[in-house]
Amino acid sequence: MTELTSGGWNEPPPDHRPWRLLAVVLAASAALALLLGLIGGLWGRTPAGNTALVVPFAGGPAIAAGAWAALTLALRLGETGVSRLWLGAVLGGAAALVASLMAIFLPIVSSNSLPPAMYPLATASTDVLAALLGLALARALGYRLSSTGWLVLGVALALLTLLVALVPGLGAILNLILLPVLVVLPLLLSDAPTTERTWGNAQLALACLAVLIVVVVGLQVGGYLVSVAG
């Protein structure tokens, strides 16, 4: 709000905290992604090199979800405590890691017991797991979904599950992008303690997109550095 002083109407100084938070989140995401890229690249040069794909395909979504959870807490729900942001990031990252590992290994395990026509359903089931873990994340942080939030989450989960099930070839890769979204979505749809948001939905979406780009680039650069060094 503006204030009336002897000199007239003065605008308050701009709040740079959201931008500083975004810079820290992007830097941490880039560093972690680069580290995972290096680990995956080194792992890929071992006799078990084919299994190295688990590093980017499980670690990448975990980094993204952790960063998105921290940004949502700060920019959507008005959280300011550093410990709360770290807690949200760690829990969000852990939830996405579990869901991503299930998305990777469940189709492999179920291939021995399920007919091929059921493979997409096995992959899509991990979307449900991600949403459930996201609900647990929101509840652990003290948030609840409104009735509208439940409706939006249900529709989004149904559409994403259907998409993954109908695109078997692309579903496994696409699912690893959607999983962190489903983990953080319940937190995003939770009732905020205040109606004053630090950033709007469009700004928050762009910030999350920037995180995703940084994670992808970091993973690629890490793998490239290993290949060049070798």
| N-terminal to C-terminal alpha carbon distance within the chain | 58
The CA-atom distances, in angstroms, between 160 and each of 43, 68, 80, 156 are 32, 19, 32, 6
The CA-atom distances, in angstroms, between 118 and each of 77, 157, 160, 179 are 39, 19, 17, 20
Query: Domain spans of the chain?
Result: 16-40+52-229
Instruction: Look up the pTM and report it.
Output: 0.87
Give the pLDDT of residue 185: 94
Half-sphere exposure of 115 (CA within 13 A, CB side): 1
The CA-atom distances, in angstroms, between 9 and each of 1, 6, 12 are 10, 8, 10
Spatial CB neighbours of 196, under 8 Å, sequence gap ≥ 6: 78
**pLDDT by residue for the chain (230 residues), tens digit each?**
444 444 444 444 445 688 899 999 999 999 999 999 999 989 888 877 777 888 888 999 999 999 999 999 999 888 888 999 999 999 999 999 999 998 888 777 776 776 766 666 777 788 889 999 999 999 999 999 988 899 999 999 888 878 777 776 666 667 668 899 999 999 999 987 765 567 788 889 999 999 999 999 999 999 889 888 86
Give the pLDDT of residue 168: 63
Distance CA 178, CA 149 (A): 18
Spatial CB neighbours of 44, under 8 Å, sequence gap ≥ 6: 52, 223, 226
